[in-house]
Structure 1
Amino acid sequence: MTDIKDIFLFSYRELKKVRTITTVAMFVALSIILGAFTVPIGNFLKIGFSSLTTVSVGYLFGPIVGSVFGAVTDVVKYAIKPTGPFFPGFTLNAIIAGFIYGSILYKKQVDIKRIFIAEFFVSLFCNILLGTLWLNVLYGKAFIAILPMRALKNIILLPINSFMAFAILKFLEQYKQKIK
């Protein structure tokens, strides 16, 4: 079993490889494309598929690369297609999500339980708590007023996101050596 210090060290070393940078750049482009297929549901809810790229990068390259990927992707997406004002809190969410996925999935065998746990923590911390807080800060909407609908959306999407991530990572697991 690889301990947490080694995971961060290995992930940091991944960041220095040209192949990693080029692969991550392709995932950034894919994330932007998938982001175009986001479905807004009201002013404060949206459903999208670009998180699958964050899961994939975290699985392939670890928490350090996943965090960098999250930051770069958030800024590039905003530069290409701004939706509202730029807010660094959402960039922090993307960094944390990449960190969580990388910490839980990197150098581990793909299994649904591990993916569900990663999705749960990302949903809880990034989407429900911090995301709602950032909307409160940005728009002055009452935290408690928008929290229930955001929590319900994330509870409903948790098994769906987990299954989609499991399917993608099972595919990547087969081709991991060719990708890396």
Structure 2
Amino acid sequence: MKKFAVCYQASFQELKHVKTLTTAAMLMAVSVVLGYFTIEAGPYLKIGFGGVVNQFVYYLFGPVAGAVYGGVLDLVKYVVKPTGAFFPGFTLNAMLGGVLYGTILYRKPLTFRRALWADLVVALICNIFLNTLWLSMMSGKAMMVLLPMRVLKNLIKWPVDAALFYLIAKRMESLGLVRMIRKFQAE
């Protein structure tokens, strides 16, 4: 339990640095732009590419900063490109996703197993359970009608998303970009 407290405290401290906020804001802009390349495979099924950028923010800045980033990003994306009615449950999901990814990835050695675990936890809790619940509430369709396609989509995307994040983050580490961003934050 003490490790969680230290993790959350350190992540909270990240929010006090202007450099953290500017770095997160720049990555948020990249995520918004990548959101324009979302593939809509039906009214309740979207495949997007901004998640890798978001995971990188959670990896760099932790669960508290991740929750703030996720909530603000959800609101910004809605203002920039609304896709239906606003529903606060999706903002809550974005924040919870930031907390979960940040808790699993922040200040820990990045391994493919850890990336897989983080993606699985978020897929099960946020994407499959909560997002399906919110969609059910909004559309009036039974959860069990929406669930099979959402489970299939997340099972397919789970290893792909984890591999993409892992490969990109590892490449950025090998190029020294992660170290440079962290050094930039410390100055």
In structure 2, the residue matched to 1:175 is 177
Q: CA deviation at 1:177?
A: 2.4
In structure 1, the residue matched to 2:14 is 14
Q: CA deviation at 1:74?
A: 0.2
Q: Does 2:61 match 1:25?
A: no
Rounded Cα–Cα distance in structure 1 between residues aligned with 2:50 and 2:105: 17
Q: CA deviation at 1:147?
A: 0.2
Q: Deviations over 1:34-88 (max 9, x none)?
A: 1001000011101011111221011000000011000000000000110000000
In structure 2, the residue matched to 1:141 is 141
Matches within 5 A, 1:54-73: 54-73=54-73
CA contact (8 A) 1:132 1:146 kept: yes
Rounded Cα–Cα distance in structure 2 between residues aligned with 1:142 and 1:127: 16
In structure 1, the residue matched to 2:185 is none
TM-score by length of structure 2 reads: 0.93
In structure 1, the residue matched to 2:41 is 41
Rounded Cα–Cα distance in structure 2 between residues aligned with 1:89 and 1:169: 29
Rounded Cα–Cα distance in structure 2 between residues aligned with 1:100 and 1:150: 20
Give the secondary structure class of the aligned counterpart of 1:3: helix
In structure 1, the residue matched to 2:152 is 152
The one-letter amino acid paired with 2:180 is: K
In structure 2, the residue matched to 1:111 is 111
CA contact (8 A) 1:54 1:101 kept: no
Matches within 5 A, 1:62-141: 62-141=62-141
CA contact (8 A) 1:116 1:158 kept: yes
Give the secondary structure class of the aligned counterpart of 2:21: helix
TM-score by length of structure 1 reads: 0.97
Q: CA deviation at 1:171?
A: 2.6
Rounded Cα–Cα distance in structure 2 between residues aligned with 1:11 and 1:172: 21
CA contact (8 A) 1:27 1:57 kept: yes
Task: Give identity over the alignment, percent.
Answer: 47
Question: Any unmatched runs of 5+ in structure 1?
Answer: none
Give the secondary structure class of the aligned counterpart of 2:28: helix
RMSD of aligned residue pairs (Cα, Å): 1.0
The one-letter amino acid paired with 2:17 is: K
Rounded Cα–Cα distance in structure 2 between residues aligned with 1:6 and 1:172: 26
